[in-house]
């Protein structure tokens, strides 16, 4: 490999903004924030969502009532007939 062309690969702490969970991994991400973990000062990257707060991984998925949405839309705006098709 050529020297000087690759970003620095180092230990980084990621913090989930939604749950506050932190996890340490290695990355090339650049950040201005730092955090002290186990007596070591590491770069801190704040992420909006991770496995600690994602609805799929936490089991807190919401079921959407799509049938109700269609009925509300038709009630609000009415059902319009399309050319060449009988209204039904």
The encoded tokens of residue 84 equal 């060449």
Q: What is the pLDDT of residues 27-36, one digit of tens each?
A: 999 999 999 9
CA angle 77, 82, 83 (to 5 degrees): 150
Give first-to-last CA distance, the chain, whole Å.
Answer: 68
CA torsion angle 20 24 29 31 (round to 10): 50
Q: CB neighbours of 16 closer than 8 A, spacing ≥ 6?
A: 22, 47, 49, 50, 52, 53
Beta-strand pair 34-37/22-27: unpaired
Q: What is the pLDDT of residues 7-51, one digit of tens each?
A: 999 999 999 988 889 999 999 999 999 999 999 999 999 998 888
Global pTM reads 0.60
């Amino acid at each position: 490999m050529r020297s000087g062309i690759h970003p620095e690969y180092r230990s980084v702490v990621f913090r989930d903004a939604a749950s506050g969970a932190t996890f340490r991994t290695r990355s090339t991400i650049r950040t201005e924030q730092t955090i002290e973990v186990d007596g070591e000062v590491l770069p801190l990257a704040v992420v909006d969502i991770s496995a600690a707060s994602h609805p799929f991984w936490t089991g807190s998925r919401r079921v959407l009532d799509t049938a109700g949405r269609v009925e509300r839309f038709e009630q609000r705006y009415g059902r319009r007939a399309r050319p060449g098709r009988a209204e039904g």
